[in-house]
Each structure stands twice: as structure tokens, then as C-alpha cells.
């Protein structure tokens, strides 16, 4: 298999868009955590506790998404350098590792999206109980 230096470079636009998405998700959750924390101090409502637990899980997932995506990007750059210096086998291995880590990052994204639906279910359940 021949891997050209331009092949790993194809991931850069996708990675930058993913990181923008990941950062927006994180900033939104950080705002929600601050709001829920303030509400918890005032109300001590158990539904808020369930929301906070859900948000904690989602923040961990987002942290893993960002970490795996960053390492994937680093390996992608490393593979380009290795290909540039004609270390083709090592470059291919680095690129495959980068692709696998990006796939793992996307799997964590799917899990986080699933959890975000769980947060809405908590609110709906509370409304149904009242």
C-alpha cells in the first residue's frame, strides 16, 4: 500500500469541524452545570440531582471525545512527517492508529448524544409525575 502525504492531510478539515462541535457541546454543558448548581443550592430538588449526574457523565464523554480526537490529529501529523522522511511503514501504522482513534472519538460522540436524550427524559418524567 502506498500512502501519499496528502492522504492524512484530508482529515484536517474534518477534525477542525469536529473540535468546533465538541467545544460547543462542552461550553453548553458548562453553562448548564452552573445553572443547575445555582438551582440545586436554592431548591435541593432531586430531579436536579439526576440532571447533574447525567451532565457529569456527558462531560466525561466529551473529555474523552476531545482527547481521542487530539491524539488522532497528532498521529495524523506524525504520519505525514514519517511519510515525508520516507518512513512509509511507520507512517502507515501512525495513520491507521489515527483513523482508529478518530473512530473511537466518534463512538464517544454517539454515546454523548444518547446521554443528552436521557437528560430530556429526566425532565419529561418530572413533568409527568406532577
Whole-model pTM over 0.75: yes
Q: How far is CA 2 from the centre of its chain?
A: 31
**Which pLDDT belongs to residue 91?**
94
pLDDT tens track, the chain, 130 positions: 788 888 888 877 888 788 888 999 889 888 988 888 888 888 887 778 888 888 899 999 999 999 999 999 999 999 999 999 999 999 999 999 999 999 999 999 999 999 888 777 877 777 777 7
**Which pLDDT belongs to residue 121?**
81
Domain ranges of the chain: 6-129
Q: Taking a C-beta distance cutoff of 8 angstroms, is the pair 102, 11 a contact?
A: yes
- d(Cα 8, Cα 106) in Å, to the nearest integer? 18
Q: Which of 100, 97, 95 is nearest to 1 (CA)?
A: 95
What's the Cα-to-Cα distance from 29 to each of 9, 49, 51, 60, 87, rounded to whole Å?
31, 15, 11, 11, 42
Amino acid at each position: 500500500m502506498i500512502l501519499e502525504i496528502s492522504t492524512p492531510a484530508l482529515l484536517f478539515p474534518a477534525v477542525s469541524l469536529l473540535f468546533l462541535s465538541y467545544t460547543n457541546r462542552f461550553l453548553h454543558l458548562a453553562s448548564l452545570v452552573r445553572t443547575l448548581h445555582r438551582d440545586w443550592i436554592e431548591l435541593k430538588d432531586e430531579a436536579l440531582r439526576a440532571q447533574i449526574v447525567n451532565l457529569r457523565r456527558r462531560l466525561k464523554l466529551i473529555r474523552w471525545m476531545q482527547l481521542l480526537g487530539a491524539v488522532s490529529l497528532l498521529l495524523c501529523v506524525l504520519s505525514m512527517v514519517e511519510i515525508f522522511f520516507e518512513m512509509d511503514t511507520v507512517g502507515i501504522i501512525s495513520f491507521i492508529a489515527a483513523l482508529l482513534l478518530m473512530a473511537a472519538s466518534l463512538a464517544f460522540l454517539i454515546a454523548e448524544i444518547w446521554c443528552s436524550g436521557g437528560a430530556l427524559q429526566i425532565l419529561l418524567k418530572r413533568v409527568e409525575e406532577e
